[in-house]
Amino acid sequence: MTALRSYPIIGAVIAQLVAGAVLIAIRLVFAGVIDAALLFWAGLAIQCVAAAMVTRMLGLPVWWVWIGLGFPVALALGLNAGEMPAWPFGAAFVLLYLFFSNTARERVPLYLSNSQTAEALVSLMRQRGAIRFTDLGSGLGGVVRRLDGDGRVARGVESAPMVWLISLLLSKISARGRISRQDIWAADIAGEDIVYAFLSPEPMPALYQKARREMKPGSLLVSNSFAVADVAADEVWELPDRRNTRLFLYEMKG
């Protein structure tokens, strides 16, 4: 299971293989009984659903379930597309890169904090009388826009080009928050009262070390969902939302 957590692609391949085995068994039973075209479409549906179910059973994150569901359809479309121009694939690749460049590089996909989490962060800042807030890897900037104002100064740091551009525009239009196109590892967090991150397990140890090196005593690193391995959080907030969001709070000591 640790291997699957580190390399979820292995789980995704296992899921497709298991689904493929189920499909072969069903095709053997129904070959000659059901019309060939119907068998093809039914088989495709079975492959998709079975792969998604196995992915779920393996405990992979929810976006892998969607990948398990969609991959057989994409493959079937690709194999049956006949002569197609190459440019749509190139354009799709560039578009995906502009949104998800950090998924391959940092192993951090794009998913967004929900409004309950943003509200919890507002009350955390109020409780502590905190003024300065940074979201490292700010995505579309929703948290930054919610946190900025009422005496609070919120900033987002984002490097995926299109995600940064959209969040910059939304921030300018709403006149809330400041978004920088920057790598989180180069961001100056020395003056922040609260630094928030919703990334993945992968960068958490290095992020914690960065926070310890740079943040002032009494300030907080808050990680959504991903604890720092081998470091006990000072507090864990469990939110009553659908995701059962957990916020891990690490206070910087002197």
**Closest separation between CB of residue 151 and ligand SAM, Å?**
22
Among residues 51, 160, 215, 228, the one that binds ligand SAM under rule CB under 6 A = 160
Window contacting ligand SAM (CB under 6 A); options: 53-61, 121-129, 158-166, 215-223: 158-166
Q: Which stretch binds ligand SAM (CB under 6 A): 38-46, 111-119, 120-128, 236-244?
A: 111-119
For every residue of 118-158, DSSP letters joined together read HHHHHHHHHHHT--EEEEES-TTSHHHHHHSBTTBEEEEEE
User: Which residue among 19, 58, 108, 228 contacts ligand SAM (CB under 6 A)?
Assistant: 108
Q: Is 183 in the site for ligand SAM (CB under 6 A)?
A: yes
Shortest Å, Cβ 114 to ligand SAM: 8
CB 251 within 8 A of CB 195: no
> Could you tell me which of 160, 117, 166 has the C-alpha nearest to residue 137?
160
**C-alpha–C-alpha distance, residues 92 and 96, integer Å:** 6
**Nearest-CA neighbor of 159 among 212, 226, 106?**
106
Size of site (CB under 6 A) for ligand SAM:
23
Rounded alpha-carbon distances, angstroms, from residue 248 to 146, 193, 225, 241: 20, 15, 7, 16
Pattern 113-152, binding to ligand SAM, x per CB under 6 A? x---------------------x-xxx--xx---------
Q: Which is nearer to ligand SAM, 58 or 160 (CB)?
A: 160
CB of 50 to ligand SAM, least distance (A): 28
CA dist 215 and 51 (Å) reads 44
Q: What is the CA radius of gyration of the chain?
A: 22
Residue 247 as a binder of ligand SAM (CB under 6 A): the answer is no
Does residue number 192 form part of the binding site for ligand SAM (CB under 6 A)?
A: no
> Binding residue for ligand SAM (CB under 6 A) from 125, 179, 199, 228?
199
Neighbours of 116 (CB within 10 A): 14
CA distance 235 to 239: 13
CB 103, CB 110: distance < 8 Å: yes
- Out of 112, 131, 162, 249, the only residue in the binding site for ligand SAM (CB under 6 A) is 112
Regarding 177 and contact with ligand SAM (CB under 6 A), the answer is no
Q: What residue ranges bind ligand SAM (CB under 6 A)?
A: 102, 106, 108, 110-113, 135, 137-139, 142-143, 157-160, 163, 183-185, 198-199
